[in-house]
Amino acid sequence: MGRVPELPRIAVLASGEGSNLQALIDRLHGESLMIAGVGSDKPGARALGRAEAAGIACEVFPLADYPDRAARDAEIATWLKGLEVTTIVLAGYMALLTAPFIAAFRERIVNVHPSLLPQFPGLRAIEQALEAGVEQTGVTVHLVDEGIDTGPPLLQQAVPILPGDDAQTLRARLQPVEHDLLCRAVTEHARSNRSPAAS
């Protein structure tokens, strides 16, 4: 019998609710890839509970434990390299990453953002779209570079804004699209970048 090929390994960074993490756990973990670890800047984030429930190793990196963001990111980078992951997914990770961290994992960091970038980057993307009065917004999954939501898109999908929408109804329409696009993009990224990020 031939050797069973190992699944690609990814890590996820998340700060909040973790619905995108849950989609990765439910649809991909143990099937097309392994989530080797989940890291957070926020102790008690719901995302950490979701990872623990799935038996995935968790680490918390609160900024208050470090002299500055660079020191915190250096420790996250060391942790990630130890996990030997091909892909690092930002799934609602709200801390800004420092330039050396991004350089260490060039083209390895994937982010999901609730707009059709380059429209509405940064915080409150859903509210920005509503305030702009546009008829559609959407979801972008992209590689992370040093800018705010400026890296090259991997997948994008438009979502209509309907009369009477508020942030809650629009978010509810965007979320399943986020989950689908993120799972597709991460599967493809992990499959085509099989060797772990260099140490």
Q: Which residues bind ligand GRF (CB under 6 A)?
A: 14, 16-20, 91-92, 112-114, 178
Question: d(Cα 187, Cα 28) in Å, to the nearest integer?
Answer: 8
From residue 50, alpha-carbon distances to 19, 35, 36, 103 in Å are 9, 12, 14, 29
Nearer to ligand GRF among residue 85 and residue 112 (C-beta): 112
**Active-site annotation holder among 29, 113, 142, 189:** 113
Nearer to ligand GRF among residue 19 and residue 196 (C-beta): 19
Question: d(Cα 70, Cα 72) in Å, to the nearest integer?
Answer: 5
Residue nearest ligand GRF (C-beta atom)? 92
142 noted as active-site residue: no
Nearer to ligand GRF among residue 9 and residue 179 (C-beta): 179
Question: d(Cα 133, Cα 145) in Å, to the nearest integer?
Answer: 29
